[in-house]
Amino acid sequence: RTSHIKKLRSRFGSRRARYLIYYGIISSLLLFMIFLFVYGFEVGDSYYGLRQLDFYFRNVSNELKTKENMYGLFHHNVIPALHRVYWYNQIAPLPLEANEKKLQVEAGIHDPRLTSKARGYMQDCTNKLVGVPRLRQLRLKDHYHKIPRVFLNFFEGAYGKYFAFREDKESYLPGWIKPDPRNGNISQMWHYRSASATESTAVQGRSGWIYGGGGYVAPLSWNRGGSWMALQNLEMENWADKKTRAIVMEINLFNNNIKRFTELRFIVEALPNGVYMSR
């Protein structure tokens, strides 16, 4: 045992071995500091990028209180911010993409940027849409919720807070009509999709409540006109009603300057007291 200890001391106790150990430690610390320095800049870019994207929605979202406000917010603020048609000066239009040039007609009659299938830029003219924006709704199924006897003639039912075991997962025709197997266009049905099918995770609303990753998914469109039309159809078919508890708009963006993808999730909560609030 004594000879073994002497060998270890002679191997690691020499001046050369000590220098190698010191140089290894200093080199490792230097590489770690360089990594933190570079990573810090990337985190800063991500932080300010998210703040810049959040700027387009926060001011108007704070005023959201009702279902009508929600549709107005999507129609007048969110969708125009996602499908940018003009540059910063609001006069010069964005350049036509390859598949838009085929749709170009005489100026002043039709703008192909409004109806083409091109994946347009966002309002900052830097981030570009990847895929189609979509709305995902989480709603309640019929469940027992006590109604005072004196109000039984005024209310058909009551719906409380969102819980996973109360989540509705049935399929419906537009307007939340239960389908009749003998009649109805089943191709237009609204189907529930699980979290694994939507590839979404749970989200936390402004109230602090947690909502699951599944829901009823309604895709919008590649362009502003198509997204407006899809949103208008949902509003006319009473897509958001008294059973709705959360609507999540999910958007995927790509920034070529920093080579980074960004996932935006705009959360609108429909609380049991009838108030809508967003985050």
Q: Please report, as a single letter, which amino acid is at residue 151.
A: F
- Tell me the pTM: 0.71
Q: What pLDDT is attached to residue 138?
A: 93
Q: Please report, as a single letter, which amino acid is at residue 183.
A: N
Whether the CB-CB separation of 269 and 244 falls below 8 Å is answered with no
Q: What pLDDT is attached to residue 239?
A: 92
229-to-143, 152, 177, 223, 272 alpha-carbon distances in Å: 33, 39, 21, 10, 29
Residue 125 CB: number of other CB atoms within 10 A?
13
Q: What percent of the chain has pLDDT over 70?
A: 66
Range in 90-94, 156-160, 219-223, 269-273 the model is least confident about: 90-94
52-56, 103-107, 131-135, range with greatest mean pLDDT:
131-135
Whether the CB-CB separation of 271 and 208 falls below 8 Å is answered with no
14-28, 116-130, 160-174, range with greatest mean pLDDT:
160-174
Q: What pLDDT is attached to residue 108?
A: 46
Name every residue whose Cβ is closer than 8 Å to that of residue 21 and which is 6 or more positions away in sequence: 12
What is the 3-class SS of 79-113, one letter each residue? HHHHCCCECCCCCCECCCCHHHHCCCCCCCCCCHH
Distance CA 164, CA 167 (A): 5
What is the per-residue pLDDT across 27-82, written as a single tens digit (0 to 9) for each? 888 887 876 665 555 545 554 555 655 666 666 667 778 888 888 888 888 887 77
> Confidence band (pLDDT; 50, 70, 90) for 6?
low
Q: What pLDDT is attached to residue 142?
A: 81
Q: What pLDDT is attached to residue 56?
A: 61
Q: What is the mean pLDDT of the chain?
A: 76
What tokens were used for 178? 């239960």
To 10 degrees, what angle do helices 2-12 and 15-61 make? 70
